[in-house]
Amino acid sequence: MKLWGGRFEEGTSEIFEQFSGSLDFDKRLISADIRGSQAFARALGRVGILTETEVQQLVSSFDAIAEEAKQPSFFEGATDEDVHTLVIRKLKETVGGLADKIHTGRSRNEQVSLDIRLWLRDEIDAAKSEVAELLRSLLAIASKYPDAVIPGYTHLRRAQAVLWPHYILAYFEMFSRDYERLEQARARVNVMPLGSGALAGSGFPFDRDAIAADLGFASVTRNSMDVSADRDFALDFLYAASVTMLHLSRLAEDWILYSSEEFGWMELGDGVTSGSSLMPQKKNPDSLELIRGKSGRVFGSLSALFMTVKGLPMTYNRDMQEDKEPVFEAAGQLRGSLRMAKVVVDSAKLNPSRPAAAAAESWVVATDLAEALARNGTPFHSAHKIVGRLVLESTRIGKLPSDWTATELVAFAPEFTPQMIELMNPLAGMRTRELPGGTGPQSVSTALDEAERRIPHE
């Protein structure tokens, strides 16, 4: 069955049918398509195209189709052009001629926009909950080791000491913003397009607000051409998904390194790692590597949709059928990766002595010393130079920060005071960073409390 054909004298080429059909992938929209069509039937009732009995008949037939669609065999052998066509064919098989009225004043151009919006809204809600779950797990592993000291890195070189929860809270901030971005994308998605017709607005005086209310949309779109032409609501989602994946990928990269023998900071659970078919000793962080790997596919989906839409003349063009696969792909990878990341975080154990040793045996205290000199009146540039020389000298003679005594320090440069020897312990320097946003133990404990309250409760 086709939703068009009167104007044609010859049949469609089989190759063209296969090439242009979208049922293989847009079948995922079936429940959205049915929900939308039920609301549309009620709208047709309100404008007098359908009687109340007809509306009821259509609505319950749609329910039956939705039920039937749960069977795996439902799509078997279907050759319909797309999911919208299939649903109408099924309707026709159930209610006969009455089905011919369902498409009155409606175009697939607005229908496809509606379906993607309905589908995406549910996916975003699910992804938001998964981000919230991840935030909860991050907070748990942050609070589990409140005093653990790790070297913070820049250029992957030991830079300054920070508390483990401070490091984890950095990711908490990133994922909190991802949650907001998903929420913002949802607001753009949550606008009701029906009534737009193919591009010029429907020829029937639908109460669009009533359709929006029926389907739980916050508002209605304002321009019918915009509806047929644009997919920026999907791009907003793909961007939000991409940034979330970017953050997941960086967390994955960190923990792949931190759980390696070279770092030895943490142990990932057996349940999220795999062995080697050849090397019996291996315990590989495949879960994290796959999260990192899948992020590339999500960024690819964002680029793909950008490319699809960028050169299209107003309004709808069939190119736009290519919008769905990137959206499905990104949503699937995003949600899978979020769930995986949560399980990895829950499984991970920190071995605090290793990062503490890494901090102690390096010069992460150098900045603390230079700042102490500056607090005592030495201009910072001179202080920087003095400590730089101290590090150079120590490296030359193989001396660690903890090997220095107060007397030796003062002897090295008169600007040092005996009390400054305390700063050779990284914890002392961290205590000077008690401003909001810093790694001072008090600041971090306040940040942890605040984070607890900031986890979104749905």
Site for ligand ARG in 17-36 (CB under 6 A): 22
CA separation, residue 42 to residues 107, 174, 210, 225, 266 (Å):
16, 43, 10, 24, 58
Q: Which long-range contacts (CB under 8 A, 24 or more apart) does 352-357 make?
A: 352/145, 352/147, 352/148, 352/149, 352/164, 354/263, 354/264, 354/265, 355/148, 355/149, 355/150, 355/151, 355/164, 355/263, 355/265, 356/148, 356/149, 356/150
Under rule CB under 6 A, residue 82 binds ligand ARG: yes
Under rule CB under 6 A, residue 7 binds ligand ARG: no
Q: Of residues 37, 61, 109, 160, which one binds ligand ARG by CB under 6 A?
A: 109
Q: Quick check: helix, strand or coil at residue 279?
A: coil
Say which of 73, 155, 277, 457 is annotated catalytic: 155
Tell which residue, 342, 338, 336, 330, has the closest CA to residue 119. Answer: 330
| Least distance in angstroms from the C-beta of 201 to ligand ARG | 16
Residue 84 a catalytic site member:
no
User: How many of the other CB atoms lie within 10 Å of CB of 12?
Assistant: 12
Tokens of 126: 């699910």
Site for ligand ARG in 317-346 (CB under 6 A): 318, 320-321
> Of the two residues 212 and 320, which places its CB atom closer to ligand ARG in the complex?
320
Under rule CB under 6 A, residue 315 binds ligand ARG: no
> Of the two residues 32 and 320, which places its CB atom closer to ligand ARG in the complex?
320
| Least distance in angstroms from the C-beta of 319 to ligand ARG | 9
Residue 276 a catalytic site member:
yes
Label residue 155 left, alpha or beta by phi (over 0 means left) and psi (-120 to 50 means alpha). left
> Of the two residues 192 and 386, which places its CB atom closer to ligand ARG in the complex?
192
| Least distance in angstroms from the C-beta of 282 to ligand ARG | 46
Tell me the window of 185-193, 236-244, 314-322, 436-444 that interacts with ligand ARG (CB under 6 A).
Answer: 314-322
| Least distance in angstroms from the C-beta of 49 to ligand ARG | 21
Question: Does the CA dihedral 327-330-334-337 come out positive or negative?
Answer: positive
Please give the distance of CA 217 from its chain centroid, rounded to a whole number. Answer: 23
Tell me the window of 105-113, 238-246, 292-300, 405-413 that interacts with ligand ARG (CB under 6 A).
Answer: 105-113
Say which of 276, 303, 353, 402 is annotated catalytic: 276
Written as one string, the DSSP assignment of 431-458 is TT--STTS--HHHHHHHHHHHHHHS---
Q: What are phi and psi of 7, to 5 degrees?
A: -85, -5
| Least distance in angstroms from the C-beta of 90 to ligand ARG | 16
| 274, β-bridge pairs | 284
Site for ligand ARG in 152-211 (CB under 6 A): none
| Least distance in angstroms from the C-beta of 220 to ligand ARG | 20
Q: Of residues 41, 99, 112, 268, which one binds ligand ARG by CB under 6 A?
A: 112
> Of the two residues 85 and 333, which places its CB atom closer to ligand ARG in the complex?
85
Pairing of β 219-220 and β 191-192: parallel
Which positions are catalytic? 155, 276
Task: Point out which residues bind ligand ARG (CB under 6 A).
Answer: 22, 82, 108-109, 112, 316, 318, 320-321
